[in-house]
Structure 1
Amino acid sequence: MSNPFEVQIKRLPGNEDISLPRKMSELASGFDIYAAVSEPVVLQPGERALVPSGFALAMPAQLEAQIRPRSGLALKHGITSLNSPGTIDADYRGEVKVLLINHGQEPFTIERNERIAQLVFQQVPHVQLQQVDELDDTVRGAGGFGHTGTN
């Protein structure tokens, strides 16, 4: 097993009661994120809200953090992350926030310290774009948006 990446986490003032992200099982890939709302937030069907987490991160340049929905909230209530996965870049030092939307049919209340999303870390390859005049041909070519299947 390789050495883990070190990611620093800072609890923001006024959020001492909010759980820091944590894995809920030994082999979980995501760390659950908790709502740091000052009072309950009611999301009506079709409504979205930017929900604070009460923490900020500092991670190495080789990583990005992704905000992903919690499957239980999506299944039971239609609550998901609108820009899934949301990307947190390695140079961002502000509070991590989660953009939630209610795709369900009932209002949903977000309570303080409720699990609202998950945080997954991914390695980001160093990529250098090279401008060219022509691209190599492939069998697929420029076909897209359903081009490779019948449905």
Structure 2
Amino acid sequence: MKIRGFETIKEYQGKVNLPVRATEAAAGYDFEAAETIVIPSIWKQGIGNVLKAALSHEKLTLEEKLLNQLKPTLVPTGIKAYMPDNEYLQLCNRSSNPMKHFLIMSNGVGVIDSDYYNNEKNEGHIMFQFLNIGLMDKTIKQGERIGQGIFLEFLKADQDVTGGKRVGGFGSSGN
């Protein structure tokens, strides 16, 4: 009987490794990048111009093109996770990423709900969101460890109310 664990999504069958814990005492399962991907420096994306304008109190007009350039980069893992309904998988950055590689998770931590597994939109594909605060672009190579996942239980309020069943994939439970 399966309780919690990881599987490979169809698109990446035979191409990625399932997450493992690095040591016996490790809380998190290490996730690897499913493909080589470049995470551009935010400084090359125009954030410097935005900061300069803001500091000089200029009126900012942010075009959609600039806003799209400043979005985080999604790094695919090729992995999905299954777990009981009262658990979630917390995605965390590797402690070495900010210090050595200038990579931060734009959402702080990620939350993978149990109903994200096998959703009809993307099969429950887990991706990490990164911003590169360094001066140079950062290339993450396929198979490189990028983050950790920790299974956690959660509690519900006495007045628990939900919006219904999940029908989509990444970001589908709200704006």
**TM-score when scaled to structure 1?**
0.75
Q: 1:123 aligns with which of 135, 138, 153?
A: 153
Please name the residue that 1:101 is paired with.
131
Please name the residue that 1:43 is paired with.
39
Q: Which has the higher strand share?
A: 1
Please name the residue that 1:24 is paired with.
22
Specify the SS of the correspondent of 2:31. Answer: strand
How well do the aligned residues superpose, as a CA RMSD in angstroms?
Answer: 1.8
Contact kept? 1:73, 1:80, Cα under 8 Å: yes
Please name the residue that 1:11 is paired with.
8
**TM-score when scaled to structure 2?**
0.65
Specify the SS of the correspondent of 2:152. Answer: strand
Post-superposition shift, 1:74? 1.4
In structure 2, distance between residues paired with 1:64 and 1:90: 6
Q: Which has the higher helix share?
A: 2
Question: Amino acid of the residue matched to residue 89 of structure 1?
Answer: D
Post-superposition shift, 1:106? 1.8
Specify the SS of the correspondent of 1:99. Answer: strand
Larger Rg: 1
1:114 equivalenced with 2:138 (yes/no): no
Structure 2 alignment gaps of length 5 or more: 43-69, 118-123, 161-175
Structure 1 alignment gaps of length 5 or more: 131-151
Q: 1:92 aligns with which of 105, 109, 116?
A: 116
Post-superposition CA distance 1:35-77 (Å, at most 9, x none): 112xx22112126211111111111012111111111111101
Post-superposition shift, 1:122? 1.1
